[in-house]
């Protein structure tokens, strides 16, 4: 803890500009904004610019230019929400791999400052992503983060990580692919359609294309970020039927359909019918000729 306090105090003395591994906030994250805390921590951990650097979010510093120190004493005195290590560590449990994060406060120039510190040497298990979905209950637009999502930080801005970003970061970091994932090709209920089945039917899609993602969400009934998670694991474990080069591609469909034994036949058929039903919902109405075009054909 002493090391963390000293690091934050030194940062407050120098007050460098925000970057990929340093962020200033005027007050700590409120409970309804814990999804932003998850997103910011993941983005910093996955930042290519921040590799090898300690990463910190410091509370009590204005994010205006130039930055100035204000402290969080007023926040701590007037809010009922807790700012402590135990509360924040519960939030970080929604991140995988589970990062090593220190949360605390320091006193500088008679003011209290809070911080979230990620030690560079203790967080080297890329890619960090959302382990458990978190939705803000009070937000009218239901803001949140979803299982399988990953973020990265460039400069002082966060971005959603696409597969090419994941591949690039793993190449840069030299991270070995995880072999601990237990493959499960089949859905556990008829309301859930196996992602590999949908992937085999679509065959090729671009996750940077909104229409492609919308089609996946229509057929699967779940957000794209959740649907793609198991396919990412198959790809990262070297499954020969899946490839990624800017676009996702199912190279061989046979492995996707083989191994469906008698016990799965009914569920498999149900899933196909459900896919057909969902596809029919979005099928556009056939174009009807206008009265003007009909009249022209009659005249001819």
For residues 16 and 141, give the distance between their C-alpha atoms in angstroms, rounded to a whole number.
35
Query: Both ends of the chain: CA-CA distance in Å?
Result: 88
For residues 7 and 12, give the distance between their C-alpha atoms in angstroms, rounded to a whole number.
9
Q: Which burial class, exposed, middle or buried, applies to 287 when counting CB atoms under 10 A from its CB (0-12, 13-18, 19+)?
A: exposed
Residues 6+ apart with CB under 8 A from 25: 57, 58, 59, 60, 61, 63
- How far CA 270 is from CA of 191, 192, 217, 295, in Å, comes to 9, 10, 18, 46
172 touches 166 (CB < 8 A)? no
Q: Which domains does the chain have, with CATH numbers?
A: 2-173 (3.30.950), 195-281 (no CATH)
pLDDT at 189: 32
pLDDT at 258: 54
Q: What length does the chain have?
A: 300
E-only strand ranges, the chain: 22-25, 55-59, 95-96, 101-108, 111-118, 129-130, 134-135, 144-145, 151-154, 157-160, 204-205, 242-245, 247-250
Query: Is this prediction's pTM over 0.85?
Result: no
Look-up: residue for tokens 């090391």? 3
pLDDT at 176: 45
Q: What is the mean pLDDT of each run of 10 residues along the chain (300 residues)?
A: 85 93 94 94 95 95 83 89 88 93 94 95 90 80 84 94 90 57 34 72 81 82 77 79 81 59 50 56 47 47
pLDDT at 127: 92
24 touches 58 (CB < 8 A)? yes
Q: What is the pLDDT of residues 43-70, one digit of tens each?
A: 999 999 999 999 999 999 997 767 889 9
């Amino acid at each position: 803890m002493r090391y963390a306090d000293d690091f934050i105090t030194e940062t407050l003395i120098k007050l460098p500009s925000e970057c990929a591994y340093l962020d200033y906030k005027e007050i700590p994250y409120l409970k309804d904004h814990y999804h932003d805390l998850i997103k910011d921590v993941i983005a910093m951990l996955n930042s290519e610019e921040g590799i090898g650097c300690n990463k910190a979010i410091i509370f009590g510093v204005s994010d205006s230019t130039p930055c100035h120190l204000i402290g969080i004493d007023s926040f701590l005195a007037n809010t009922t929400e807790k700012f402590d290590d135990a509360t924040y560590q519960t939030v970080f449990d929604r991140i995988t791999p589970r990062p090593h994060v220190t949360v605390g406060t320091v006193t500088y120039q008679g003011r209290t400052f809070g911080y979230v510190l990620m030690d560079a040497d203790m967080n080297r298990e890329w890619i960090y992503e959302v382990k458990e979905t978190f939705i803000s209950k009070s937000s009218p637009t239901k803001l949140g983060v979803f299982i399988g999502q990953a973020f990265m930080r460039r400069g002082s801005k966060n971005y959603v990580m696409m597969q090419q970003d994941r591949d690039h970061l793993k190449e840069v970091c030299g991270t070995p692919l995880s072999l601990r994932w237990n493959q499960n090709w089949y859905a556990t209920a008829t309301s859930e359609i196996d992602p590999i089945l949908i992937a085999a039917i679509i065959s090729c899609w671009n996750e940077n294309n909104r229409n492609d993602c919308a089609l996946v969400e229509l057929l699967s009934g779940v957000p794209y970020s959740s649907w793609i998670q198991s396919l990412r694991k198959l790809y990262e474990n070297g499954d020969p039927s899946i490839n990624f080069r800017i676009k996702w591609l199912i190279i061989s469909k046979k492995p996707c359909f083989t191994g469906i034994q008698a016990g799965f036949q009914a569920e498999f058929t149900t899933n196909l019918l459900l896919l057909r039903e969902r596809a029919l919902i979005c099928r556009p109405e056939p174009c009807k000729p206008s009265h003007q075009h009909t009249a022209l054909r009659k005249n001819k």
